[in-house]
Chains A and B, each alone.
Chain A
Amino acid sequence: AQKVTQAQTEISVVEKEDVTLDCVYETRDTTYYLFWYKQPPSGELVFLIRRNSFDEQNEISGRYSWNFQKSTSSFNFTITASQVVDSAVYFCASFYGGATNKLIFGTGTLLAVQP
């Protein structure tokens, strides 16, 4: 079955701390895409990153970095030196093509960054 698990429901950190959001996916497909989205209180989804299953290279974008490990089916997201503006719900998602053809979301992690 296709499934995305975000075990951390809520995380609270103090500004400038580093924080890692976990994401574990399940699939039998060999081709799939992994995403991270940020959802601020306004509700709009903000795209952060997309990774395909053939590209295990880790990525860094400013204070954000992602660690993709196929061996553990994980796609974790780290925010370095967190800021109050990072407070939001973060969703990990996986898109399965072919016959499945759908994007499945994890349950989300609410990140609260305290000043």
Chain B
Amino acid sequence: GAVVSQHPSRVICKSGTSVKIECRSLDFQATTMFWYRQFPKQSLMLMATSNEGSKATYEQGVEKDKFLINHASLTLSTLTVTSAHPEDSSFYICSARGSQGPGELFFGEGSRLTVL
């Protein structure tokens, strides 16, 4: 089946630094990618939807300048957490939409961010 790879799987950074998380569709072209955030023992909350070559659409309450999303190619979307703070520590998961239909969705392995 289709594979979506996220990197890094774990990252620890100091407060104030920026962290970039990559999401790649390895064997298919993903015109749409979704970014989710999951706090411990909570559900996955959609942060933004990114379409290749255009600006991301952010969900209400998500800071655009804080969470920069770039979808420069059909196989790569990146999420950059800028000036990270401890409250940004979370599990971030990306999802890529395949070409077989609107319900064809594949998830990355997730990236656990810890901000000290």
Using CB atoms and an 8 Å cutoff, list the residues of chain A in contact with chain B: 31, 33, 35, 37, 43-45, 47, 50, 52, 91, 95, 97, 101-108, 110
User: Knowing that A43-B93, A95-B103 are A-B contacts, what are 4 other residue pairs whose CB atoms are under 8 Å apart, sorted by A's residue number?
Assistant: A33-B102, A43-B109, A45-B107, A110-B41
**Min distance, Cβ B22 to any Cβ of chain A, angstroms:** 16
Given the known interface contacts A43-B91, A43-B112, the answer about A103 and B43 at a Cβ–Cβ threshold of 8 Å is: no
Q: Which residue on A lies nearest to B93, using beta carbons?
A: A45
Select the residue from A95, A108, A110 with max chain B CB neighbours within 10 A. Answer: A95
Dominant SS among interface residues on chain B: strand
Using CB atoms and an 8 Å cutoff, list the residues of chain B in contact with chain A: 32, 34, 36, 38, 41-46, 49, 91, 93, 95, 102-103, 105-107, 109-110, 112
Select the residue from A43, A45, A95 with max chain B CB neighbours within 10 A. Answer: A45
A residues less than 8 Å from B44 (CB atoms): 91, 105
CA distance A45 to B84 in the complex (A): 25
Q: Which residue on A lies nearest to B51, using beta carbons?
A: A101
Select the residue from B49, B102, B112 with max chain A CB neighbours within 10 A. Answer: B102
Q: Which residue on A lies nearest to B36, using beta carbons?
A: A105
Do the beta carbons of B43 and A91 come within 8 Å of each other? Answer: yes
- Can you list 10 residue pairs at the A/B interface with Cβ under 8 Å? A43-B110, A44-B107, A44-B110, A45-B93, A47-B107, A97-B102, A103-B95, A104-B46, A105-B43, A106-B43
A residues less than 8 Å from B110 (CB atoms): 43-45
